[in-house]
Amino acid sequence: MPLLSFSRRFLIFSTVIPFLASIALYRLDTFDPALLPPNALDYSTTSLPPLSNDKLLTGAELIGVGLLNSPEDIAYHRESNFIYTGCVDGWVKRVKVTESVNDSVVEDWVNTGGRPLGVAFGLHGEVIVADAYKGLLNISGDGKKTELLTDEADGVKFKLADAVAVADNGVLYFTDASYKYNMRQFAFDILEGKPHGRLMSFDPTTRTTRVLLKDLYFANGVSKSPDQTHLIFCQTPMRRCSKYYINEERVEVFTQGLPGYPDNIRFDGEGHYWIAMPSGVTVLWKLAFRYPFLRKLTAIAANYGLDPLIFMANAGVLGVDLDGKPIALYHDHKLSHMTTGVKIGRYLYCGSLLHSHIVRLDLLKYPAQKRL
Ligand SMILES: *[C@@H]1O[C@H](CO)[C@@H](O)[C@H](O)[C@H]1NC(C)=O
Ligand SMILES: *[C@@H]1O[C@H](CO)[C@@H](O)[C@H](O)[C@H]1NC(C)=O
């Protein structure tokens, strides 16, 4: 008989030992997490929408099982009816949108040699990619040519180019989540709790990169408003998405007190934005954000094998209206690391940092309903 069951041994090696090591090494380690701004810790005004589906996975279909390795962002090309998504193996893949998921075919399209995250379409048939390691890329529509547009601003290199949106006039708006930590280390950026993120623009006519906002907390998803006057961008640990008015260069809150930590935001062309949340607010995240010493312990333990993202649970996608008012939440306790939600027709397509498929939910068959 083994002395310890496998799961016990696993727990000891993956959690207990790293935590004991982190306690022992606490004083020696220089990782220095900060307090978050007080409003990030205010849970009294969590904005829950009137409608909710608490079992996103029930009835959901899986697309491209085993062929889409961590499809982080999804962009839908209406004219060709293709979904484009960036995978962890460097591939931008595309999938024809079909009525039956069994008919969907996954195609390897272009490999960036990096980690494609944000995907959007340019005005001339090109695909714009925010690649975590490379920067902002322009891939020609035929997939034959990849050009680096920009990878630094104000003398500071991007370390985690994350999301991108294209305005009607061709200007690209994008985020760099962190100038300090790269994609493999991104959990440390969240644990450190300091603002290393930037919101930027790239004008293809002048080829200039401009910093619109700096000192953002893990600047993540970005979307252009349908009237083109402003951007919406998300700061993950702040549980907030903000508006940036382009002409006035002014920021205001769009939606805050979210029930989870926002990642990508996508406009559906029908009056709603969809905000993906890789994790809901959990007790562990609440404690960690309140107490920097817990984040320091977690960071040290992560160097000894603890997965700092064990805190992730109850992922989902929140639909909000043009004023940021929450309308409907689709989530599931069994789900984590959901990074994008895109509504195409009656379906919600969801990408993730963990799974090797896209999750699709029929919103007419499995609607969000009034809370009891
Ligand atoms: C898709 O394939 C699965 C497994 O082969 C099958 O159970 C399911 O009925 C199929 N769905 C449709 C809509 O054909
Ligand atoms: C991307 O490259 C194509 C040529 O392949 C060019 O026509 C297009 O204007 C470029 N787009 C941007 C945003 O630079």
What are the pLDDT tens digits along the chain (372 aa)?
A: 445 555 666 666 667 777 777 777 777 778 999 999 998 998 887 778 999 999 999 999 999 999 999 999 999 999 999 999 999 999 999 999 999 999 999 999 999 999 999 999 999 999 999 999 999 999 999 999 999 999 999 999 999 999 999 999 999 999 999 999 999 999 999 999 999 999 999 999 999 999 999 999 999 999 999 999 999 999 999 999 999 999 999 999 999 999 999 999 999 999 999 999 999 999 989 999 999 999 999 998 888 888 877 778 999 999 999 999 999 999 999 999 999 999 999 999 999 999 999 999 999 999 999 976
CA distances from 50 to 38, 164, 192, 210, 363 (A): 27, 30, 34, 39, 16
In terms of Cβ atoms closer than 10 Å to its own Cβ (0-12, 13-18, 19+), residue 120 is: buried
Among 164, 159, 163, residue whose Cα is nearest residue 181: 159
What's the whole-model pTM score? 0.94
For the chain, the domains span 31-279+314-370
Q: Is the CB of 126 under 6 A from ligand 2?
A: yes
Phi/psi of residue 5, each to 5°? -70, 160
Which residue's alpha carbon is at the smallest distance from atom 6 of ligand 1? 102
Helix, strand, coil shares, percent, the chain, to 5 = 15, 40, 40
Inter-residue contact 76 to 360 (CB < 8 Å): no
Q: Measured in angstroms, how far is the CA atom of residue 58 from the centroid of ligand 1?
A: 16
Which residue's alpha carbon is at the smallest distance from atom 5 of ligand 2? 140
CA distances from 309 to 9, 39, 87, 280, 366 (A): 20, 23, 19, 12, 29
Q: Measured in angstroms, how far is the CA atom of residue 205 from the centroid of ligand 2?
A: 10
Q: Measured in angstroms, how far is the CA atom of residue 102 from the centroid of ligand 1?
A: 6
Among 312, 315, 311, 309, residue whose Cα is nearest residue 359: 315
**164 forms bridges with which residues in the sheet?**
174
Q: Is the CB of 140 under 6 A from ligand 2?
A: yes
Which residue's alpha carbon is at the smallest distance from atom 1 of ligand 2? 138
CA angle at 286 for the pair 367 and 188, rounded to the nearest 5°:
100
Q: What is the dihedral of CA 50, 51, 56, 58, to 10 degrees?
A: 140
Pick the CATH number of 31-279+314-370 from 1.20.120.790, 2.120.10.30, 3.90.226.10, 1.10.420.10: 2.120.10.30
Which residue's alpha carbon is at the smallest distance from atom 1 of ligand 1? 102
